[in-house]
Amino acid sequence: MAKFVVAIDGGAGSGKSTTAKAVAKRLNFFYLDTGAMYRAATLKYLQCRGSTDNIDRALVKEIIKQTRIDLRQQNSENHVFLDNKNVTLEIRTHRVNNFVSPISAIPEVREWMVEKQREVAEGKNVVCEGRDIGTVVFPDAQVKIYMQADLKMRAQRRQKELDAKNIKADLDKVIENLKFRDKYDSSREHSPLKKAADAIVVDTTNITIEQEVDLVEKIVREKL
């Protein structure tokens, strides 16, 4: 069991990752990036030359039996390791972006990931972000936040984030990718993206990163 959990959910590009990282750093909590774990699984599928026309579910099921995904914090930075190889940058490419939602929607993948995420959090104070954290992964989390923002604002933030990693992305393509992921993630049958009944909604459209971090930190400290 984790000690204290801050669960942050929301659509792609709503500010979850940036806020979660910053809040975890301020509170000296472990930052559990569930999205990165799903991206790593997607990268493995693509490396295994899985079909991109129709997801090969049989291959996915085989992959998760023999795949190791680790999250490691080094010098205050989070790194993602796939089978002991650092793939922190590789999982952020446009190709992975396009297939992470279909891979993540497979029930066996989600069940496997929930187990792994709870293992990572065991015995720790964590800030965890994703799409089903407050509803499925940590339904008893002490703090639940649901972040939302205007689509164009989310796309601009995602493009800026990719630029910082030297990954070039056209804004229109980023917008289309976010639209697709919003629809796919919220309509999937298994663990869809939705706001937990007891989550606090934080709209980040018209506030700065610093302001949203301050707000979430304040909410957590009051609960602590």
Nearest to 186 by CA among 112, 114, 132, 128: 132
User: pLDDT for 199-223, tens place per residue?
Assistant: 999 999 999 989 999 999 999 999 9
Quote the Cα angle for 8-11-12, to 5°. 105
Report the pLDDT value the prediction gives residue 75, as an integer from 0 to 100.
72
User: Hunting for tokens 């984030």 — which residue is that?
Assistant: 161
pLDDT above 70 as % of the chain: 100
pLDDT above 90 as % of the chain: 67
Query: If you average pLDDT over every residue of the chain, what do you get?
Result: 91
Average of pLDDT values for 99-106? 90
Report the pLDDT value the prediction gives residue 205, as an integer from 0 to 100.
93
Q: What is the pTM of this model?
A: 0.83
User: pLDDT for 124-171, tens place per residue?
Assistant: 999 999 888 999 999 999 999 999 999 999 999 889 888 888 888 899
Report the pLDDT value the prediction gives residue 164, as an integer from 0 to 100.
85
Report the pLDDT value the prediction gives residue 169, as an integer from 0 to 100.
86
Report the pLDDT value the prediction gives residue 168, as an integer from 0 to 100.
84
Contact 192, 132 (CB under 8 A): yes
- Cα 203 versus chain centre, distance: 18
Instruction: Give the model's confidence band at 62: pLDDT under 50 very low, under 70 low, under 90 confident, else very high.
Output: very high
Q: Where are the domains of the chain?
A: 4-216
Backbone angles phi, psi at 89, to 5 degrees: -85, -40
Instruction: Give the model's confidence band at 113: pLDDT under 50 very low, under 70 low, under 90 confident, else very high.
Output: very high
Report the pLDDT value the prediction gives residue 74, as an integer from 0 to 100.
78
Average of pLDDT values for 76-104? 91
- Cα 46 versus chain centre, distance: 19
Contact 104, 114 (CB under 8 A): no
Domain 4-216 -> CATH class: alpha beta
Report the pLDDT value the prediction gives residue 15, as an integer from 0 to 100.
86
Which pair of tokens denotes residue 214? 């301050």
Report the pLDDT value the prediction gives residue 214, as an integer from 0 to 100.
97
